[in-house]
A and B are shown apart, each in its own frame.
Chain A
């Protein structure tokens, strides 16, 4: 019977207006959800297709485009997309292509099958929003918009599609979703977590923001325009003071006259130079001082404070104090760190005093002058810091451009306005020129404490660059020239330091972070941040470890044995029930057809009286001749009811006669019979 595969609505039925309108609304919502990540022209084009379809629907036209027009339009649009996109195989490009073909489907949407496919495609495109992020914002967007394709599918199944209004349709969709959510939670908790099955070739281009492995003037100040979160930290115990929260990410040790770069790090994967030393050993098991929940940034590095080592196998801490993962991190990642001294490695072999020849002559002259006065490394450093502090240097997000060849000369002697990367770059140059090994460190500085959740949130605008210098006898010193120019940046964070700078978050005019000077907004932002933290911490980061821990808590240490045992007991129980149903179910189910019920009742009565009537095979006459010699009393009654029964069942009843009433009367008579077994 399974081979009969029928569709409940013939594939060629034109879907009702209501269904198509629902589908158009669904498509609009889907396009809006992706609008930020796909080219603007594509979104506009898809909306044009949508409007065309809507206009077609309004004018009551059933005929769409002819096949030739339709196909050439589709080919043309796909070709335009191919040309404009090029060989750019990213997640966004894939989604854009998907959206385009999906919207082209509208051109030929005229049957049950088309409508069904369109609704299901919408469903999947809505789910793909999670590729951009997994916070409460995306979750609520998806939960709300997923109701639309569900409502469309429901309307498609409705035999009277015009019978319900919008509200009814949407609430029906929401109900389907609501029923599924408890089951979803159960599956989410128990479904086994596995690692990636194979490497995904698609990379995202714009979905990830954050530090890169190079530093040119302007790169970090670009990040100051973003209020997205970089990572969250929970301290186990009291945290260090805020001005000590220097989250190290990467060391930049090469300089080409304009850009600071990581000499050993190529293509973001190969660690090369920095893998030469063995990684630092992990700290003692079970103890930790802080836990970082890192947003996906598509890079291999993590963030750590100085003199903390990792608790688990991954990520690994390299000898120079950078935290490295095996792969680029494309999803939310969590790791724990514990206090532990870092060995002070010898900088000599890294040749950290190399500089390109012939650039920045003015700076070199100043270096020679200062070095002549301060032979001692530390006082030389102090001399530079007081130079920054005392001379008219300004801390700003929008420093003038430095187009020339001698960028550091230009900055130090002409513009004198810069962001942290200008100061860090100039300082490192000055140190190296004086023969002191030095490097630029980029990462984040500070963060915002969330008192509701007792965690720190670090945002993109907290990105920072500072300097590390090797001083004989003291090891690596952290030097932050920005602190000399704008001490507020270090003590209270960027927002306080640049309270009046219009450039702060200038592209996000409505960002809560920008408006946080108003206390209600600050409170609201704090609460939202906290809710997202809870969401990420309990739900999104529910991984293999957490699942295992949860099962341990439920089932104890030998959890797998117990879970297996429990499953076994369940299986056996179900089998027993099933077998029981098979064995006894027969007597339950062998209810006779109504017409035969009088005899069935009579046989049961005889058996109860002690006469073993064989089940279900005797005719009334046979039953009579079987039972009569075994009865002590009630023979006449038995004969009478059996005759009546025979008359009722085996003779043709004339039309209009109520047989069932007669049968019931007979059943009552049989029940009132007094039968007694003959004793021998």
Chain B
């Protein structure tokens, strides 16, 4: 049974690959849209049959007519649902990276095109999706959050776009492949480097101290793009204002996080340790750099540098 199902899934997957090839932007059309009554539609159909038989058996013309009305509404439902999706354009805009256990935010841009859209679902089964309406001509960013699990690429696969508007009896859906891909950073886990002497400074204790204290320089307003970890939540709870601790960037000598310092660990643990080290340096507001195999990132300080380094860890494919 299981293998048969797998096989069927494979066949469907291959068929879809040909019929709806991957692209980062797709306008839904008759090639990529599928229509089928859902289970409520089947229930509704059975009830319609009951009405029809009641009409026939009681020779009641108006009850029969009501059954025809229900049939007519179901038929029109197919077209209305189809038109509700056809012409809708979807684009994969970006996906924000996250640590394992956090949520990855996938941002999809949808364009309504020349008609109003109602009750459209976009996302991934079973429960990661967003529902929205669109006005005629409206474009909008839709956010879908996916759980970040393991370090590396997160590829949720084909997207599901579906609607049951207007009456919820027929579902029209499409499974475009927008090549959605997100990166999951390594889990920051502290591990002692192989030989502290090979590292600059070697002041393990000093580093710890700085990590906890930092060169605190006051509070300032939160800016978009900054790590939410720096928000002073206590302040937020009191006043509702998002403020972050501002630190003076220390002009100290840049420190390097080198992969070879953890060469004794297996890849994932090594990356985790490097991640932890990067975060610690970042929290000290020192310029830092990442050296992994022959590639160097930085040295530099700040959020952007941290993100670049973490991304390279997430994308690391070597051993």
Chain A residues packing against B (C-beta within 8 Å): 1-2, 4-10, 116, 120, 123-124, 127-128, 130-131, 134, 138-139, 142, 150, 153-154, 156-160, 163, 172, 176-177, 179-181, 183-184, 187-188, 191, 194-200, 330-332, 539-543, 593
**By the criterion CB–CB under 8 Å, are B163 and A330 in contact?**
no
A7 to B173, CA, bound (A): 12
Structural contact, A158 and B119, CB atoms closer than 8 A: yes
Q: Which B37-80 residues have C-beta < 8 A from chain A? A: 38-40, 43-44, 47, 50-51, 53, 56-66, 68-73, 75-76, 80
Task: Flag if A179 contacts B76 (CB, 8 Å).
Answer: yes
Is B269 positioned at the interface, with any CB of A under 8 Å from its CB? no
Query: In the complex the two chains form, is B59's CB within 8 Å of A330's CB?
Result: yes
Given contacts A153-B167, A157-B164, A159-B119, contact A124 B62 (CB under 8 A): no
- Contacts A/B (CB < 8 Å), 16 sampled: A1-B12, A6-B171, A130-B63, A134-B62, A142-B62, A157-B164, A157-B165, A158-B119, A176-B73, A177-B69, A177-B73, A191-B64, A330-B58, A331-B58, A331-B60, A593-B21
Q: Assess whether A159 is in contact with B57, with CB atoms less than 8 Å apart.
A: no
A130/B162 contact (C-beta < 8 A), A1-B12, A120-B44, A159-B131 known: no
Are A153 and B47 in touch, CB under 8 angstroms? no
A241–chain B nearest beta-carbon distance, Å: 34
**CA–CA, A177 and B59, complex, Å:** 24
The answer to whether B167 touches A134, judged by C-beta atoms less than 8 angstroms apart, is no
Whether A6 pairs with B168 at a CB distance below 8 angstroms is: no
Q: Are A9 and B58 in contact (CB under 8 A)?
A: no
Name the A residues within 8 Å of B75 (CB-CB).
183
CB <8 Å contact, A180 and B164: no
In the complex, are the beta carbons of A8 and B164 less than 8 A apart? Answer: yes
Instruction: Tell me if A127 and B59 are in contact (CB < 8 A).
Output: no
State the CA gap A265–B40 with chains docked (Å): 50
Pick from A139, A176, A187, A330: contact of B166, CB below 8 A.
A176
Q: Which residues of B contact A593 (CB under 8 A)?
A: 21
Q: B118–A157 contact, CB under 8 A?
A: yes
Q: Complex Cα distance A188/B43, Å?
A: 23
Which 4 residue pairs across A and B have the least CB separation, nearest first? A183-B72, A159-B131, A130-B62, A180-B72
**CA of A180 to CA of B73, assembled, Å:** 5
Instruction: State whether B120 touches A159 (Cβ < 8 A).
Output: yes
Kindly state whether residue B36 has any CB partner on chain A within 8 Å: yes
B156: shortest Cβ distance to chain A, in Å? Answer: 16
- Looking at the assembled complex, report how far the CB atom of B194 sits from the nearest CB atom of chain A, in whole angstroms: 37
- Beyond A6-B160, A138-B62: 6 further Cβ-contacts under 8 Å? A127-B66, A139-B62, A183-B72, A195-B59, A197-B53, A198-B57
Query: Contact: A159 with B132, CB < 8 Å?
Result: yes
Q: Kindly state whether residue B252 has any CB partner on chain A within 8 Å.
A: no
**Shortest Cβ distance from residue B166 to the other chain A in the assembled complex, whole angstroms:** 5
Cβ-neighbour of A539 out of B40, B47, B61, B80 (below 8 A): B61
Determine whether B317 belongs to the interface, using a CB cutoff of 8 Å to chain A.
Answer: no
User: Is there contact, CB below 8 Å, between A8 and B131?
Assistant: yes
What residues of chain A lie closer than 8 Å to B66, measured between beta carbons? 127, 130, 142
Closest to B127 in A: A10
Q: Which of B12, B56, B63, B119 contacts A157 (CB 8 A)?
A: B119
Tell me the smallest distance from the CB of A503 to a CB of chain B, in Å. Answer: 34
- A139–B61 CA distance with the chains assembled, in angstroms: 11
- Residue B34 is within 8 A (CB to CB) of chain A in the complex: yes
B55 to chain A, nearest CB (A): 8
Q: Could you tell me if B162 and A6 are in contact, using CB atoms closer than 8 angstroms?
A: yes
A542 touches B62 (CB 8 A): no
In angstroms, how far is the closest chain A Cβ from the Cβ of B273?
Answer: 32
Interface string of B248-276 (1 = CB under 8 A from A): 00000000000000000000000000000
- By the criterion CB–CB under 8 Å, are B168 and A116 in contact? yes
Closest Cβ of chain B: how far from A281's Cβ, in Å?
27
